[in-house]
Amino acid sequence: MMGGWGNSMMGVWSIAWSILALLSILATVAAVVLLVAWLVRRGPAMQAGVKPGGQEAGEILRQRFAAGDIDDEEYKRRLAVLDGP
């Protein structure tokens, strides 16, 4: 026994650092699991720009034009915005 420290080189601090390391590992694993769950839940529909349970904006625009809710000029203007520059 050197200097009355016993067998532990850091005493109580070794326990504190061990707990901190364990919590860090658990937080990292939880973050990875949440990220994977979020990516899986998005699915291919979200990657294509379709809202879950919804339709594409262009399809909704076509339906509104066909129903007479918007005129030809409004349809073309909005379609140009959807198609982008």
Reported pTM: 0.43
Residue whose C-alpha is closest to residue 56's, from 30, 79, 36, 32: 79
**Distance (Å, rounded) from C-alpha 42 to C-alpha 40?**
5
Task: Tell me: do 66 and 81 sit in the same domain.
Answer: yes
CB 61 within 8 A of CB 75: yes
- Could you tell me if 78 and 61 are in contact, meaning their C-beta atoms sit under 8 angstroms apart? yes
Residue 47 has pLDDT above 70, yes or no: no
Answer yes or no: do 2 and 35 share one domain: yes
> Domain check: are 9 and 32 in the same one?
yes
CA 23 to chain centre: 23
Confidence of residue 32 (pLDDT cuts 50, 70, 90): very high
Same domain, 42 and 61: no
- The total number of structural domains in the chain stands at 2
Q: What does the pLDDT look like over 2-29, one tens digit per residue?
A: 555 555 566 777 888 899 999 999 999 9
**Domain residue limits at 19:** 1-48
